[in-house]
Amino acid sequence: MTRGFESLQPALAYLPAEEIAVIEEAFEFSRRAHEGQFRKSGEPYISHPLAVAGILAAWHLDAQTLCAALLHDVVEDTPATASEIEARFGKAVALLVEGVSKLDKLAFASEQHAQAENFRKMLLAMAQDVRVILVKLADRLHNMHTMGSMPPDKRKRIAKETLEIYAPIANRLGLHSVYQELEDLGFRYLHPTRYQVLAKAVKAARGNRRELVDKVKIALQDKLEQCKIEATISGREKHLYSIYRKMQEKNLAFSEVFDIYGFRVVVRDQPSCYLALGALHALYKPIPGKFKDYIAIPKANGYQSLHSILFGPNGTPIEVQIRTVDMNRLAESGVASHWMYKSAEAALNDVQTRTHRWLQSLLDIQADHGDSPEFLEHIKVDLFPDEVYVFTPKGKIMALPRGATAVDFAFAVHTDVGHRCIAVKINYELMPLRTQLRNGDHVEILTASNASPNAAWLNFVVTGKARSHIRTYLRNARVEEAAALGERLLGNAIAALNPAATEPDPAVWDRVVKDYGLQTREELLAGIGLGRKLPLVVAHQLLHVQGEKSGEPAHPHAIVIRGTEGIAVELAQCCHPIPGDPILGFIHKDRGLIIHTHDCPSIRAFRTDPDKWLDVEWQAEPGHMFDVSIKVVVGNKRGVLAKVAAAIAEHGSNIGNVSMEEEDGSPYTVLFFTVQVENRMHLARVMRGLRALPDVVRIFRIKGRKDGRAAPSQ
């Protein structure tokens, strides 16, 4: 039997009675909406939103968030609408639900596109209200806990997404316990065998090491008491995925990972952190290079603590983390502490500021990218804050991902600095821009006003911001250069068609640009410069529209076609025009100029619309082979296909494709050939040669589909 609202009530004791009543109303709304729906495990569906609300209640989130948690799947999975939720529970709750809901009702090119678009939507909602991601993380946490009933392939896909996106987000938001739990659950379902082996090894080692842990804990406590430092000490076991990652990164066997246990020392205030550190370094010698001061230089998510690895009893390495009560609270709850504890406002505001800054950087990246998978690729880089801390010339500390280069630093300072950088001084020495930065480096970027990003930078930058801005700049620069080239090509084409023509006025340009389905003149010119549009075709249209407006129709020459122009000119596949055929050119806004024979069945509907077609003619000697389709009816005899193929080859033509109709028991067979000829005269010679064969009954050229009926419009 499903637990009802009464199971959630004890966790809501921190809220006033009137808010609890609203949450109960949301529960009833959700229960009725999901009535008759069941999870894969067989439980009624309402058990899931109830559990998500329970997780968020444990973080002491506000009533609006808890209502959104109870309603988060209603719009997605039931007939209830967002407007109903807004009418009953207010706009804020409706926006939270909308932010968490997926984009399942839209069609995406691939699963990767769907994942990227879902994340993009959630990111935009997060920027408005960070509670969106808190609901999503609680939702994902409960789904991971109850994923045993899912098919194995779906389990692995969700586990991979959890490790790549949701666990790192929890880490960036400072939700340390959620981060560790999501990592362990993701590890469990992505690599079930490795998880079981490692869990068994940790369990076996636990008994052997308990004595060591107790011994160290007592020694630490005694030393701090001698130094009159008040502290609470706890021993903790590293979570499984952390151990697994360490084994993978350092190529270690489990028996070689000693610091599976760490010790957390929580003291009264910040000066006591450093006093405790000195006392513990006097007790156990620190391992050189293994000390990190995250109090002076906090992590990007606001995390503060002193970390030191010491030589413990018998030379066993032990990790010690020293922090204040407030730091410990923030380390566990991160940005959620804003709702849990209203007291330490200064520290919390700092965390919120950092979170907002990070979200803003993600928004900057997404604004530059229409390509969803590329956007997701940049985001994944920024989600893993294994950081280095460097100094600007003015002494400001900047955090960058490990492996970041001087160019990443330049873009982190300001986009304009990134665009104009030409060299870097690291620790007052000139170094290459591709140099990877290390902790404590003093970095000074040298710029020049005429400098611009280099495509080679994409080979070594690691931050999403740098990669995004470089790609955007290069794309825009390419378009600008193409537009300048397109303008020159178009000018030449207009002069060739009508030397006396004047510059088309803005209204003429607007009409032609609109006909192509574009927004600006620059887009059309760039299309010409990039070879996507034929300058003669655009010139012809401009002169035609100009003539219409002036009342003096222009009579430009017909456009000469070679048949080898590439992507700007396409020979229609329905009628396969060849030199010698009377032809017409039809303008297609996406595909350029499409050439049809004048009697092609596909274009009958357009023949009466002069705006759709252009006069075109073949170049005198194209010197090129063209595809054409023919239909040959032959007697159903052994070896007839070989005879027909030999006759085609004998007359200097290649066979591009051959097929035949299924036999129906009649004495005749229909063969379809795509042959390559130089022109219409060459085709006539081939067809005469085939007619001379005694087994050939009928032969004709196909214009339209194989069966001779009209093809669909091109």
Q: Which of 62, 77, 350, 387 is catalytic?
A: 77
Q: How far is residue 533's CA from residue 592's CA, in Å, rounded to a whole number?
A: 6
| DSSP character at residue 342 | -
Q: How far is residue 487's CA from residue 494's CA, in Å, rounded to a whole number?
A: 11
Name which of 183, 142, 181, 176 is nearest 335 in CA terms: 176
CA distances from 592 to 386, 391, 566, 569, 612 (A): 49, 53, 10, 6, 12
Q: What is the 3-state secondary structure (H, E, C) of 431-492?
A: ECCCCECCCCCEEEEEECCCCCCCHHHHHCCCCHHHHHHHHHHHHHHHHHHHHHHHHHHHHH
Sequence-ordered list of residues with C-beta below 8 angstroms from that of 249, at least 6 positions apart, any chain:
none
Name the strands in the sheet holding 231-237, side by side, starting at the edge strand that comes first in the sequence: 231-237, 261-267, 317-324, 306-311, 286-293
Instruction: Return the structure tokens found at 467.
Output: 């990669």
Q: How far is residue 580's CA from residue 11's CA, in Å, rounded to a whole number?
A: 85
For helices 17-33 and 47-58, give the axis angle rounded to 10 degrees. 150
User: Which residue type, as a one-letter code, is found at position 46?
Assistant: I
Q: How far is residue 549's CA from residue 510's CA, in Å, rounded to a whole number?
A: 13
Q: How far is residue 480's CA from residue 483's CA, in Å, rounded to a whole number?
A: 5
From first CA to last CA, the distance across the chain in angstroms is 62
User: CB–CB of 643/667 below 8 Å?
Assistant: no
Q: Which residue has the tokens 């050119």?
A: 585
- Residue 269, Cα to own-chain centre: how many angstroms? 43
77 is catalytic: yes
Sequence-ordered list of residues with C-beta below 8 angstroms from that of 573, at least 6 positions apart, any chain:
714
Q: How far is residue 476's CA from residue 469's CA, in Å, rounded to a whole number?
A: 11
CA distances from 167 to 12, 46, 180, 303 (A): 26, 25, 7, 16
Helix (H, G, I), strand (E, B) or coil at 400: strand
Got the DSSP string for 657-714? EEEEPPP-SSSEEEEEEEEEESSHHHHHHHHHHHHTSTTEEEEEE-SSSTTSSPPPP-
Contacts 24+ apart (CB under 8 A), 415-420: 415/469, 417/445, 417/447, 418/453, 418/466, 418/469, 418/470, 419/451, 419/452, 419/453, 419/469, 419/473, 420/447, 420/448, 420/449, 420/451, 420/452
Sequence-ordered list of residues with C-beta below 8 angstroms from that of 680, at least 6 positions apart, any chain:
578, 579, 580, 581
Q: Which of 76, 84, 129, 570 is catalytic?
A: 76
According to DSSP H, which parts of 322-459 are helical? 325-333, 337-340, 345-367, 372-382, 406-413, 415-420
Task: For residue 561, list its beta bridge partners.
Answer: 618
Q: Which residue has the tokens 């159903």?
A: 636
According to DSSP H, which parts of 551-590 are helical? none
Active site residues: 76-77
